[in-house]
Amino acid sequence: MRRRWVPGPVRRAVLAAGVSTVLGLTGCTGPDATSVEGGGAGTAPAATGMTGSPAPSRTGTPDLQVEVVAAGLSHVWDIGVLPDGRALVTERDGRIALLSATTPGAAVTPVNADLSDVHVRGEGGLMGMVVHPDFAESRRFTTCQTHMQEGQPTDVRLVTWELSTDGTAASRVADPLVGGLPINPSGRHSGCRPTVADDGSLLVGTGDTARGAISQDLTSLGGKVLRVDLATGEPAEGNPFADAENPAQQLVWTYGHRNVQGVAVQPGTGEVYTAEHGPSTDDEVNRLQAGGNYGWDPSQGGTVGGYDESVPMTDLERFPDAVPAAWSSGSPVEAVSGAAFLSGPQWGELDGALAVGALRGEKLLLMGLGPDGAVAEVSVPAPLDGAFGRLRGVRVTNDGALLISTSNGSDDRVLRITPV
Q: Per residue in 332-379, pLDDT tens?
A: 999 999 999 999 999 999 999 999 999 999 999 999 999 999 999 999
Q: Is the pLDDT confidence value at 233 over 80?
A: yes
Position 294 confidence tier, pLDDT thresholds 50, 70, 90: very high
pLDDT at residue 56, as a whole number: 54
pLDDT at residue 90, as a whole number: 99
Phi, psi dihedral angles at 195 (to 5 degrees): -150, 145
Contact in structure between 129 and 161 (CB atoms under 8 Å): no
Question: What single-letter amino acid sits at 373?
Answer: G
**Tens-place pLDDT, residues 96-136:** 999 999 999 999 999 999 999 999 999 999 999 999 999 99
pLDDT at residue 43, as a whole number: 25
Q: Is the pLDDT confidence value at 392 over 70?
A: yes
- Interacting residues of 291 by C-beta distance below 8 A, sequence separation 6+: 240, 241, 253, 254
pLDDT at residue 118, as a whole number: 98
pLDDT at residue 1, as a whole number: 32
pLDDT at residue 29, as a whole number: 33
pLDDT at residue 60, as a whole number: 75
d(CA 106, CA 96): 15
pLDDT at residue 61, as a whole number: 82
Contact in structure between 147 and 179 (CB atoms under 8 Å): yes
Least confident stretch, 19-33, 228-242, 266-280, 323-337: 19-33
pLDDT mean over 388-403: 98
Q: Is the pLDDT confidence value at 24 over 80?
A: no
3-state secondary structure of 107: coil
In this predicted model, which residue has the larger pLDDT, 410 or 12?
410
**CATH says 72-352 is which class?**
mainly beta
3-state secondary structure of 336: strand
In this predicted model, which residue has the larger pLDDT, 61 or 204?
204
Position 22 confidence tier, pLDDT thresholds 50, 70, 90: very low
> What are the DSSP calls for 35-63, one per residue?
EE------BPPPEE-TTSSEEPP-BSPPP
Q: Is the pLDDT confidence value at 4 over 70?
A: no
d(CA 41, CA 23): 28
Q: What is the DSSP letter of 248?
A: H
d(CA 163, CA 376): 41
Q: Is the pLDDT confidence value at 12 over 90?
A: no
Find the angle CA(413)-CA(417)-CA(420) to the nearest 5 degrees: 145
Instruction: Please give the mean pLDDT across all residues of the chain.
Output: 89
pTM of the model as a whole: 0.88
Question: What single-letter amino acid sits at 137?
Answer: E
> Order of strands across the sheet with 252-255?
193-196, 202-205, 224-228, 252-255
Q: Is the dihedral of CA 361, 366, 368, 373 positive or negative?
A: positive
Question: What single-letter amino acid sits at 6?
Answer: V
**Tens-place pLDDT, residues 212-227:** 999 999 999 999 999 9
pLDDT at residue 27, as a whole number: 32
**Tens-place pLDDT, residues 32-87:** 333 333 332 222 222 222 233 445 555 578 999 999 999 999 999 999 999 999 99
Q: Is the pLDDT confidence value at 380 over 80?
A: yes
Percent of the chain clearing pLDDT 90 (strictly above)? 85
Omega of the bond prior to 176 within 30 degrees of 0, cis? yes
Position 399 confidence tier, pLDDT thresholds 50, 70, 90: very high
pLDDT at residue 278, as a whole number: 97
pLDDT mean over 232-260: 99
Q: Is the pLDDT confidence value at 326 over 50?
A: yes
Domain positions in the chain:
72-352
pLDDT mean over 378-403: 98
pLDDT mean over 259-282: 98
pLDDT at residue 305, as a whole number: 87
pLDDT at residue 58, as a whole number: 58
